[in-house]
């Protein structure tokens, strides 16, 4: 599905797939330099990170491994509480590994902060984060994201793995939803 297929549902197009691809080239080059010879373990958070993991990992020129976690927020509230339940844990032992968490989006950063604390307790050699998108709220919670694709405004976005009610994950490119879709 591409941006023209759902243009009536979008208020604004933020990034085309080609802008995302160009930025991923830059980040992958940086990560290749930083992890030279280190066999980094990429940890993706299901389901949103599937697209960025696939595109980012294939741009790396060095070896990497991949593993996945599935988490869900506790409680029924719509805002992030930061307390998460692990629905599917990693298969890999993190002890002494160089771990790079690959995230679709960091909003408040609360989910990520909780996840990092959990992963840090497994004593990896290093632990960093790559996030394709980051909202301004994240700064308030001081969660460190070493590699950021794009800083975006505080709006709800869809596409490139990000969903609204389960839809738009398969949209190439990213946009903000028009109000009629969710009102
Ligand atoms: P946080 O704990 O507030 O950082 O929430 C992070 C999670 O909320 C992300 O991994 C997404 O699943 C979801 N999320 C936050 N903002 C958006 C958005 O604009 N579109 C789609 N999902 C979002």
**DSSP line for 17-28:** HHHHHHHHHHHH
Whose alpha carbon is nearest atom 11 of ligand 1?
105
DSSP 8-state code for residue 152: -
Name the residue of 48, 106, 107, 155 to mutate for ligand 1: max ligand atoms within 8 A of Cβ. Answer: 107
Whose alpha carbon is nearest atom 17 of ligand 1?
156
pLDDT at 75: 54
Q: How far is 150 from 52, CA to CA, in rounded Å?
A: 13
pTM of the model: 0.94
Q: Residue 10 forms beta bridges with which residues? A: 177
Q: State which H helix or E strand residue 175 sits in.
A: strand 174-177
Q: Residue 126 forms beta bridges with which residues? A: 98
Residuewise pLDDT in 10s, the chain (183 residues): 999 999 999 999 999 999 999 999 999 999 999 999 999 999 999 999 999 999 999 999 999 999 999 998 765 445 566 678 899 999 999 999 999 999 999 999 988 999 999 999 999 999 999 999 999 887 787 789 999 999 999 999 999 999 999 999 999 999 999 989 988
The verdict on the CB of residue 156 being under 6 Å from ligand 1 is yes
Q: Residue 158 forms beta bridges with which residues? A: 175
Catalytic residues: 107
- Cβ–Cβ < 8 Å for 133, 106: yes
Ligand 1 atom closest to the CA of 108, numbered from 1: 3
Ligand 1 atom closest to the CA of 162, numbered from 1: 21
- Cβ–Cβ < 8 Å for 44, 71: no
The verdict on the CB of residue 57 being under 6 Å from ligand 1 is no
- Cβ–Cβ < 8 Å for 100, 71: no
Placement of tokens 């590699």 in the chain? 147
């Amino acid at each position: 599905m591409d941006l023209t297929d759902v243009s009536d549902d979008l208020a604004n197009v933020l990034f085309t797939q080609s802008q995302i691809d160009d930025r991923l080239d830059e980040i992958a080059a940086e990560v290749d330099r930083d992890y030279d010879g280190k066999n980094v373990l990429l940890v993706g958070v299901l389901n949103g990170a599937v697209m960025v993991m696939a595109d980012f990992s294939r741009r790396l020129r060095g070896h990497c491994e991949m593993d996945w976690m599935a988490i869900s927020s506790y409680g029924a509230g719509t805002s992030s509480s930061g307390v998460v339940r692990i629905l599917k844990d990693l298969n890999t032992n993190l002890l002494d590994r160089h771990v790079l968490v690959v995230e679709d989006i960091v909003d408040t950063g609360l989910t990520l902060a909780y996840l990092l604390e959990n992963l840090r307790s497994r004593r990896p050699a290093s632990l960093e984060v790559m996030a394709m998108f980051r909202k301004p709220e994240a700064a308030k919670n001081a969660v460190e994201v070493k590699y950021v694709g794009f800083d975006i405004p505080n709006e709800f976005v869809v596409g490139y793995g990000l969903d609204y009610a389960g839809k738009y994950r398969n949209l190439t490119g990213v946009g903000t939803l028009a109000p009629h879709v969710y009102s």
